[in-house]
Amino acid sequence: MNALLSKLTVAGTVLTLASFGVRTLNPQGDPKPSGSHGSPVVVELFTSEGCSSCPPADAFLAKLAEQGPAHNMQIVALEEHVDYWDDQGWRDPFSSHNWTTRQDAYAGVLGNKNPYTPQIVVDGSVECSGGRPQLALQTITQASTQPKTPVTLSQGTAGKPGTESLSVQIGKLTPSARGGAAEVWLVITETGLHSSVTRGENAGHELSHAAVVRSMRKIGEAKPDRDIGFSGDAAIPIRNEWKRENLKAVAFVQEKNSLRILGAAEIPLHP
């Protein structure tokens, strides 16, 4: 368990999903039957170490990723640190303008014109505040019942030093009329990351994180009306400071116009 969750437990808080006032329900309000596994759900959290409202949302995402399988949900967690808090006293070491740009794109299609933190986006289709875990879990549970495009992700043969070879296959697409081309993305995430914050709104706190996005690259487009929409390999750079044992690879297919995520897969990166 990471440092932030351990601190909360020591303080007398038992961190389960129920700790955040949420229950795992199916759309009819009944517990999901044992052994019933939903479709993979991509949960993106836009966050920052400079934002005092973000640590509880980070903890929620970490618990969601950890306890999802126990609640028959396949959660693909992506923690994306934006950079617009970096001039407020503390520069987030995990921030990137790429994630700010991605959040801006969601703001344009999901109706909220003003990006904010913490913000959760579920399957690229629905957004809600990371400070409302009950609403977020209801949205995620509903998304897990929706049919998805099959995505297969595997490690390839060893490539050049400092790179990871990955193979992706996308099944038959179920695109929408307004969705546009479907793009295939590869992501590397790292868990176990933390910071001792000395300035800004979280000064004096030790912050821990869920699956921090280290890289995100488009590797191609999936074609509709085919049994196999995409099949290909990609070599993704892996930086030396990233801890291999904490890395995962994620592949997802996303409509270019609507930003709806049609399907996803996640695997650990083995040595």
Tens-place pLDDT, residues 155-178: 987 778 899 999 999 999 976 767
Per domain, the residue ranges of the chain are 3-16+39-268
Alpha carbon distances (Å) from 157 to 67, 74, 153, 166: 32, 27, 13, 8
- Mean of the pLDDT values across residues 65-77? 89
Tens-place pLDDT, residues 191-200: 999 999 999 9
pLDDT band at 3 (very low <50, low <70, confident <90, very high): very low
Q: How far apart are CA 40 and CA 42, in angstroms?
A: 7
Per the listing, tokens 């009950």 go with 134
User: What CATH code would you report for 3-16+39-268?
Assistant: 2.60.40.10
- Mean of the pLDDT values across residues 136-145? 95
Amino acid letter for position 25: L
Token representation of residue 139:
């949205």
pLDDT band at 101 (very low <50, low <70, confident <90, very high): very high
What is the bridge-based pairing of β-strands 75-81 and 41-47?
A: parallel
Asked if the bond preceding 118 is cis, omega within 30° of 0, the reply is yes
Instruction: Write down the pLDDT at residue 32.
Output: 37
Please indicate whether residue 17 or residue 127 has the higher confidence score (pLDDT). 127
User: 22 in the Ramachandran plot: left (φ > 0), alpha (ψ -120 to 50) or beta?
Assistant: beta
- Mean of the pLDDT values across residues 149-158? 91
